[in-house]
Amino acid sequence: MYSNSVQYKRFVWELNNIINLSSGERNIVFLCLGTTTIIGDSFGPIVGTLLKKKFEKSNTVKIMGDLKDAMTYSKIEENIDYIKEKYSNSLIVVLDAALSDKHDIGKIFIQNRGLRYAESLHKQNNFLGNISIKAVVGEDMNNNIQNFKTLKNVSFEQVKSMSDIVSKGIIDVMNKKENNGKNICK
């Protein structure tokens, strides 16, 4: 369904290039940030749930954060040292919803660097990960209260559509990456 869309093709091409440049033989951790209580911030947990179904038997891919066990701001704060220590030799890909300029709404951005999580709510936060994937779900109003309202009023269909594109893209890219000559997505 999404495999013919321009956005999907661009996402897969960019992710494939960054993963191939960055991962080598390292394990990969997908850290899916967000909460299930706010629609606009549910991008990460939705992607995490879709990925867990595909990678549950993988020894080289770990998924953290899903609809059952969301990786919320407070949970990250509690576990950041553990994550950095346990996965210090892994490639950490951080996924999160984002607010940005109005013309960026609906776009998915990949960067070959981590991100500052909860940035749109102007919380004090740490830089996390090696690669970031951000789905722009709404306009950044440069105001905590307005940004919170924006996240609460995002269309679920929009978030689900971007989650489907990203999860399918990750699965397709990881299927191409071999682990000991075997498909790692079982």
How many domains does the chain fold into?
A: 1
pLDDT at 4 over 90: no
Please check whether residue 181 lies inside any domain of the structure.
no
Alpha carbons within 13 angstroms on the beta-carbon side of residue 50 total 20
Q: Is residue 135 part of a domain?
A: yes
How many Cβ atoms from other residues are within 10 Å of residue 88's Cβ?
Answer: 8
Phi, then psi, of 61 in degrees rounded to 5: -125, 130
- Domain of residue 58 covers 6-174
Could you tell me the pLDDT band of residue 182, with boundaries at 50, 70 and 90? very low
For 105-147, what is each residue's pLDDT tens digit? Answer: 999 999 999 987 766 555 666 678 999 999 999 999 988 899 9
DSSP 49: H
- How many helices and strands in the chain, by DSSP H and E? 5, 9
Question: Token digits for 112?
Answer: 């070959």
Q: How do 28-32 and 115-116 pair as beta strands? A: unpaired
Structural contact between residues 133 and 94, judged by C-beta atoms closer than 8 angstroms: yes
In a domain, 182, yes or no: no
DSSP H helices, 26-155, are 43-55, 73-86, 144-152
In a domain, 168, yes or no: yes
Note whether residue 40 is domain-resident: yes
* Residue 92 within any structural domain of the chain: yes
Q: How confident is the model at residue 184 (pLDDT cuts 50, 70, 90)?
A: very low
pTM, to two decimals: 0.89
The CATH number assigned to the domain holding 124 equals 3.40.50.1450
Q: What are phi and psi of 140, to 5 degrees?
A: -80, 115
**Mean pLDDT along residues 166-172:** 96
Please report which helix (H) or strand (E) contains residue 95, including its range: strand 91-100
